[in-house]
């Protein structure tokens, strides 16, 4: 039938807003859209931020976050959820409560604690609350500094794969450990996926691109993974496709200029 109605493949992002448009909710919406799904959002915090860094963070009242969650979750059927900045224990608790209440699936969490610029984006006492939340998540996507906060030991090329597995076993979740901070002389960028359900490790390699235009990569990767999960791909395929997408977006943006600092990746390959 020509006029048969079909539902959108929808992904919800729960994250902070980046006023410069490089990361956070803005990067999530671009990634979800570019990878083929409909994006809805719940904003947990706003930041005063540009290409040079973060100068202020304003937490959205928890009651308003709860109302945002109720509004979208009661109305829209989401195939996946991406979670980014959770600024406080109270925010983590209300998000956990609502995701359980609405029985959502395919939850991908980027444990946003440290920005690409090195700015800390999470309060100290929130880290323990975040750790308690991780077993409820299907996949987490920490970078090296964030992973080191989770398992409290240094990570390098010698223990990279084992560290991903260690995090997964400790927090009972699948883990994509991102290798962007590794000091490697290889011409490839390596990430490691530990799948909790199968206890298997997968190494994902993409060409290394020499550029500082990498703002928002973590947000874009986690939201694109959520999108491919929403589209029905198994976790290994969803992660590989998302890593490839972000790698291509980095390549598309390596010669672009935005502002006075480091530019973001180029989500749509724009001229």
- Residue 185, pLDDT > 70, answer no
pLDDT at 271: 84
Q: How many whole angstroms separate alpha carbon 50 and alpha carbon 83?
A: 21
pLDDT at 1: 55
Q: How many whole angstroms separate alpha carbon 9 and alpha carbon 178?
A: 27
Question: Which residues, 6 or more positions from 179, have their beta carbon under 8 angstroms from its beta carbon?
Answer: 144, 160, 189, 190, 191, 192
- Residue 189, pLDDT > 80, answer yes
Average pLDDT over residues 51-80: 96
Contact 171, 135 (CB under 8 A): yes
- Residue 37, pLDDT > 90, answer yes
Q: What is the mean pLDDT of the chain?
A: 93
- Domain topology for 10-146+213-253: 3.40.1190
Reported confidence tier of residue 115, pLDDT bands at 50, 70, 90:
low
pLDDT at 268: 97
pLDDT at 270: 86
Instruction: Give tens-digit pLDDT for 237-256.
Output: 999 999 999 999 999 999 99
Contact 48, 118 (CB under 8 A): no
Reported confidence tier of residue 265, pLDDT bands at 50, 70, 90:
very high
pLDDT at 118: 63
Contact 136, 93 (CB under 8 A): no
Average pLDDT over residues 84-89: 90
pLDDT at 119: 63
Predicted TM-score of the model (pTM): 0.95
pLDDT at 183: 66
Q: How many whole angstroms separate alpha carbon 51 and alpha carbon 117?
A: 9
Across 34-43, 48-57, 260-269, least confident range: 48-57
SS3 193: strand
Residues annotated as part of the active site = 178, 214, 216-219
| % the chain with pLDDT above 70 | 95
- Measured CA distances, 229 to 50, 240, 270 (Å): 30, 11, 25
pLDDT at 176: 98
């Amino acid at each position: 039938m020509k006029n048969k109605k079909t539902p959108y493949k929808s992904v919800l992002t729960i994250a902070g807003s980046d006023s410069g448009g490089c990361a956070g909710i803005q990067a999530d919406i671009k990634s979800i859209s570019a990878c083929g799904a409909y994006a809805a959002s719940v904003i947990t915090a706003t930041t005063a931020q540009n290409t040079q860094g973060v100068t202020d963070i304003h937490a959205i009242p928890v009651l308003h976050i709860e109302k945002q969650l109720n509004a979208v979750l009661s109305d829209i059927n989401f195939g996946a959820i991406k979670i980014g900045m959770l600024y406080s224990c109270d925010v983590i608790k209300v998000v956990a409560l609502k995701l359980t209440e609405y029985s959502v699936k395919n939850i991908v969490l980027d444990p946003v604690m440290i920005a690409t610029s090195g700015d800390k984006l999470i309060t100290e006492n929130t880290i323990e609350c975040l750790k308690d939340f991780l077993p409820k998540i299907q996949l987490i996507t920490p970078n090296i500094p964030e992973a080191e906060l989770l398992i409290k030991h240094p990570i390098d090329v010698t223990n990279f794969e084992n560290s991903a597995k260690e995090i997964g076993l400790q927090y009972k979740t699948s883990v994509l450990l991102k290798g962007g901070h590794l000091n490697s002389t290889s011409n490839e960028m390596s990430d490691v996926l530990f799948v909790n359900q199968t206890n298997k490790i997968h190494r994902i390699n993409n060409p290394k691109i020499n550029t500082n235009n990498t703002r928002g990569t973590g947000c874009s990767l986690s939201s694109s993974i959520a999108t491919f999960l929403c589209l029905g791909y198994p976790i290994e395929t969803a992660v590989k496709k998302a890593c490839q997408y972000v790698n291509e977006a980095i390549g598309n943006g390596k010669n672009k200029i935005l502002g006075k600092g480091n530019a973001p990746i180029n989500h749509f390959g724009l001229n």
